[in-house]
Structure 1
Amino acid sequence: MDNNEYVGHCFCGTIELRVTGSPVAMGYCHCESCRAWSASPVNAFTLWSPQAVRLTQGSDQLASYNKTDRSTRKWCKVCGGHVLTEHPGLGLTDVYAAVIPRFPFKPEVHVNYGETVLHMHDGLSKLMDMPKEMGGSGRMMAD
């Protein structure tokens, strides 16, 4: 395994993936969709180029759902464990931070903080919605 390669897996281990290199961004999403999908008040994300994410086991057990055309959420058919979300319009794949346990998660930003239900006073930048380059307003909020 390369020093910049990390192994991830679903809850039961049926699906395994590897991420290589460095993510494009890391942080927390506070939107209602991510909260509902993750069954938590906030979702920790790592965004990668699709070429940096490789399924190495159990791809036949991966199911998917599109709430909108902006994302394809994927999970394990065996255990229901969430694995990743593809964002084709952005050219990015979100591998949930918890799926890659040995990866050194260093969050840089909060997105969709205008929808938060859990205020986090951690000194990180807080965006009302998304960065301008991702179709949002880019408007910052107070910590």
Structure 2
Amino acid sequence: MSNTYRGTCFCGAVEVETTGAPVGMGYCHCQSCRSWSAGPVNAFTLWQPDAVRVTKGQEVLGHFSKTPLSDRHYCTQCGGHVMNKHPPLNLVDVFAAMLPTLKFEPGVHVNYAETVLPMKDGLPKLKDFPKELGGSGETLPE
């Protein structure tokens, strides 16, 4: 039996459901994620596209693509952030805060070279992205 996790935007107009397990979880420190989230770091959960479904509010789901790597989705009623589709990677980032019953178990920090909030937690700190996702795979010291 698959695990199912549900979440909503800030006002509840958009509902998202994920099934199974994420392919990865962690923190992104890039300037784009910080700016989008209005915070010093963004907690992500990555899923295969077929594991993510908008179950309510598709008609009020807006999106913005700053680069071809990220298609950020949000509720047009409350502005609440929902997910970030990464077409070249064939992955969907459902923001960790969107899935309150999913136990967030981060495994990595990405884009740590851009951090404004150093985090000493023993997790690998990647300069950019893992090699398998087109990055250098280079790690940085905590």
The alignment's TM-score, normalised by the length of structure 1, stands at 0.97
Deviation at 1:3, TM superposition (A): 5.7
Secondary structure, aligned partner of 1:141: coil
Q: Which amino acid aligns with 1:23?
A: P
Please list the CA deviations of residues 46-75 of structure 1 after superposition, one character each: whole Å capped at 9, or x if unmatched: 000000001100010000001011110000
Partner residue, 1:49: 48
**Runs of 4+ in structure 1 over 6 Å off:** none
CA RMSD of aligned residues (A): 0.8
Q: Which amino acid aligns with 1:10?
A: C
What is the aligned-residue identity percentage? Answer: 58
Partner residue, 1:29: 28
Q: How many residues align?
A: 142
Deviation at 1:14, TM superposition (A): 0.4
Please list the CA deviations of residues 2-21 of structure 1 after superposition, one character each: whole Å capped at 9, or x if unmatched: 66000011001100010000
The alignment's TM-score, normalised by the length of structure 2, stands at 0.98
Partner residue, 1:108: 107
**Aligned partners of 2:33 and 2:130: how far apart in 1?**
17
Please list the CA deviations of residues 9-46 of structure 1 after superposition, one character each: whole Å capped at 9, or x if unmatched: 10011000100000010000000000000000000000
